[in-house]
Structure 1
């Protein structure tokens, strides 16, 4: 039997029980794939980040959902680096992170904010019928046409392709009641992983956008606070010239309709994007992991 320290860390927030939770195992060297998957399943977060040594970078991160390994997770990356910084595992500075198939740049600021490289922005305008998109979201088509005259719908990819859909006012975004099969069909036709509806009408005075993400192809009715979609949306509005020059960073708020409010900061010139955010640990404990050849259940202590 092996015992490992485990954490639950809420990413894209400085307040506990907000943002998007991730599991974090700060020392995962020596664990088998089955053990990693079992720990992720026991913790139950949408993603658990496992921190390992790397021959190619400063750290290697592996990401597991309760059911499968993932090639990336922005919120779990923020959670992992924030937890390492908080516990003295690394200092403020710039780092390289190895993931499946690539390395990515990460920067930790002295205040604990973690910035993560997403990548080059690929933006393609699409033209589904307003009535079809509105029906999929359960809102009036006029709420899309009103803003769509100046800001068309697009599939934007800074790491994952999202269908970004501008909505005129927060009041209408708050009324979204998605028809998930219709959302999935729409996303599949434009090769997007999900639909991200957003508005410039926000709750917080600092925020630039309020967004809500829906990814039924992944079994996600509504995402909490998603870095990949926020980064894609931030690059999109910057590239479309929808922001004036006084806006340095795009501040994307979300999660309010799931009682998990959070904020993603996006640094983008419209050609590439970085996302950043804070994180807070909500659970600190240990987990007993059966040997790789044992069939016993994992026991949390």
Structure 2
């Protein structure tokens, strides 16, 4: 059995045990798919990033939830590069990252904040059954309809597709009691991986928070994600697409999330035409090693 250095890194925060925790394996060379999945299951955070050599970019990453591999994860990308910066492996500058959705550009600032450029957005309005959405999320459908005339429900993706649902007030967003089976079914009906709900009635609106969001992704094994980079990028592109601001579109937005899970975090979002970037800080909260057994395929029982 071999041991691999394994980190827990909190993304979109400067404080340990806040934001969104990601597992990071800085050198995953030699790990099989089964071993990566076992590590992600053992760490039991929403996603774990496994860094590998690449012939197409500076490095390659694979992302696993506790139950399956996923194509892209924003907070684990921020966490991984924040950890590399903390280790002195990378300096401030620009890097490339090979993912299952293509090669992405990464920028690291002098302070160690990390920005990732996501894929060009795909956005279109959807015909939503408001009653079904209200039942799935445990909320009065009027909370959706109050803002639906100006900001409609929509499919939005910058690498991972989400159903974007604006809500009128924070009190309604905070009171949601989702039926996760129904949430998964509603997301699947609209060919998305999860649902991102938000309100401009943010907790920190006096401190420049643009909105407060919540992300539900039970189909990927994550009932509620504390702070979600992929959904934030998709929502930023959505706001641009539907001209959400009366004045000039903000050069930078701040999306707050995770407060109702006691994991507050803040995602920086920049949208310039077809270019969408999300960014934030990251802090290592746990640094250790994990001993990983070999897996014999004959011993693996399919569910």
Name the TM-score, length of structure 1 as normaliser.
0.91
Alignment of 1:252 with 2:240, yes or no, is: no
Alignment of 1:223 with 2:225, yes or no, is: yes
Name the TM-score, length of structure 2 as normaliser.
0.90
Q: C-alpha displacement at 1:172, in angstroms? A: 1.4
Change (3 A) 1:236 1:265: same
Q: Secondary structure in 2 aligned to 1:260?
A: coil
Contact kept in structure 1, 2:78 and 2:281, CA below 8 Å = yes
Change (3 A) 1:184 1:285: closer
Contact kept in structure 2, 1:239 and 1:269, CA below 8 Å = no
Q: 1:287 aligns with which of 278, 286, 290?
A: 290
* Distance in 2, Cα, partners of 1:206 & 1:250: 8
Alignment of 1:172 with 2:172, yes or no, is: yes
In the alignment, structure 1 segments of 5+ residues that lack a partner are: 297-301
Contact kept in structure 2, 1:158 and 1:272, CA below 8 Å = no
* Distance in 2, Cα, partners of 1:281 & 1:104: 23
* Distance in 2, Cα, partners of 1:201 & 1:94: 35
Change (3 A) 1:148 1:270: farther
Q: C-alpha displacement at 1:253, in angstroms? A: 0.7
Change (3 A) 1:206 1:136: same
* Distance in 2, Cα, partners of 1:29 & 1:226: 27
Deviation per residue, 1:145-197 (Å, 9 max, x gap): 22112111111111122111111111111111123333233222221211111
Q: C-alpha displacement at 1:86, in angstroms? A: 0.7
262-271 vs 107-116, greater mean Cα deviation: 262-271
Q: C-alpha displacement at 1:120, in angstroms? A: 0.9
Written as runs of structure 1 = structure 2, the 5 A alignment for 1:136-151 is 136-151=136-151
Q: C-alpha displacement at 1:126, in angstroms? A: 1.5
Change (3 A) 1:155 1:270: farther
* Distance in 1, Cα, partners of 2:189 & 2:292: 43
* Distance in 2, Cα, partners of 1:221 & 1:124: 25
Contact kept in structure 1, 2:68 and 2:220, CA below 8 Å = no
* Distance in 2, Cα, partners of 1:49 & 1:228: 14
Q: C-alpha displacement at 1:227, in angstroms? A: 0.9
In the alignment, structure 2 segments of 5+ residues that lack a partner are: none
Q: Which residue of 1 aligns with 2:29?
A: 29
Q: Which residue of 1 aligns with 2:7?
A: 7
Q: Secondary structure in 2 aligned to 1:72?
A: coil
159-168 vs 261-270, greater mean Cα deviation: 261-270
Q: C-alpha displacement at 1:77, in angstroms? A: 1.0
Contact kept in structure 1, 2:37 and 2:67, CA below 8 Å = yes
92-101 vs 254-263, greater mean Cα deviation: 92-101
What's the C-alpha RMSD, in Å, of the aligned pairs?
2.2
